[in-house]
A and B are shown apart, each in its own frame.
Chain A
């Protein structure tokens, strides 16, 4: 019974295509995130949503558009994919204090390869 689940786990596509990655959490958390792990293995935050409201929007090209239909889901849509978008994308969720411990719970990651 996965707490934070992402689909698909692997995605191979051509440059210029549009693709989406879906994320769902069943932890009842208020906040969800997208992190990107690049080729140098650094994990960097892209977006966060709190109760469907965008909170953090780092310097990410506007080809990336997150969508949160409800607080349990945060999807990532990427338009006009480029080679540099190849990475592992991690979804995460957390419950802020005082109701939770604040730690992030990560999904298993979605490996995107752009050819």
Chain B
């Protein structure tokens, strides 16, 4: 039973435009959310995170928005660059206690292709 869902398996966007990746979750106990980026034959690398006490977090070209009532978060990348072409995973955690920290529930990922 997938508690984190990324319903768009792929996204194609033109260089310089905005990429919007969506993620939905079902577990109301999740209170920490992360986005990871993955290139082929490499491990996922952390991109940006947001705590449930916030509704927005920004880091350079990357912004994550959280709508707790809708159990929805999104990642905005603007402007998109060819190097952003990768698989993006949404992940969620129930909290920061020792026995749950790092127990991330991942979505299936969205393949982003940025075209010149």
Contact = CB atoms under 8 A, between A and B. Distances in A.
Q: What size tier do the contact residues of chain A reach?
A: 20 to 34
A99 to B, nearest CB: 12
* Chain B interface, >50% SS class: loop
Interface string A21-50: 000000000010100000011111100101
Contacts of A94: 101-102
B101 A31 contact: yes
B2 A42 contact: yes
B101 A90 contact: no
Contacts of A105: 45-46
Nearest to A2: B43
B101 A106 contact: no
11 contacts: A31-B102, A42-B2, A42-B108, A45-B104, A56-B99, A92-B43, A94-B102, A96-B98, A104-B102, A105-B45, A108-B41
